[in-house]
Amino acid sequence: MPPLDLEDFVIRIDGVVAEPLDLSWEEFLKLPQAEVVADFHCVTHWSVPGLRWEGVLARTIIELCRPEPEVRWVMAYGREGYSTNVPYEHFSRPETILAHKLNGKPLPKEHGWPLRLVVPSLYAWKSAKYLVRLEFLVEKRRGFWEMRGYHDIGDPWREERRWDSRPVPRE
């Protein structure tokens, strides 16, 4: 990951919204802050219970950008080129958060510093690291893993890992 100066950081929120946003790090931190305690599930059959994420709730972002009623998907982009599609119904849940802290400390680099989308209701590949953009979409578009056969939804309780019968590789 190339170095990042937080003075240069911008999170872009755009797509099918009434109010596109470009928020600097300082502007992002001035938004109402929240805490979410949730389990984190990896597609490779491991989970971490009770992680404490701090940041801005997705619902706050929704209030600010005002997605159009026909929005059904949100594409999350990381600054390293990663992307993942998130169903709007999961993105808009009360526990979805744009996190900059994990367990009371700044988000570690390996977990997506400075900002990570955390969608506790879905597998971890939907929780994009190094978040720099959220694009609200009417039509489904597939992200990095979805283009490689991973499920568009990724619900851990339904074990929605892949669209086909190939096993998911273990890390």
> Looking at residues 95-112, what average pLDDT do you find?
96
* Number of C-beta neighbours around residue 67 at 10 A: 23
Question: Which DSSP string corresponds to 108-137?
Answer: PGGGTTT-EEE-TTS-GGGS-SSEEEEEEE
Cis peptide before 108 (omega within 30 of 0): no
Higher per-residue pLDDT: 3 or 33: 33
Q: How far is CA 145 from the centre of its chain?
A: 14
Query: Domain 9-158 belongs to what architecture?
Result: Alpha-Beta Complex (3.90)
Q: What is the reported pLDDT for 46?
A: 80
Q: What is the mean pLDDT of residues 152-165?
A: 66
CA distance 86 to 83: 10
Spell out the alpha helix ranges (H) of 21-131: 25-30, 58-65, 88-91
The domains of the chain are located at 9-158
**Residue-averaged pLDDT of the chain:** 90
Q: Distance of alpha carbon 120 from its chain centroid, rounded?
A: 9
Give 67's strand partners: 17
pLDDT at residue 48 above 60? yes
**3 state DSSP class of 69:** coil
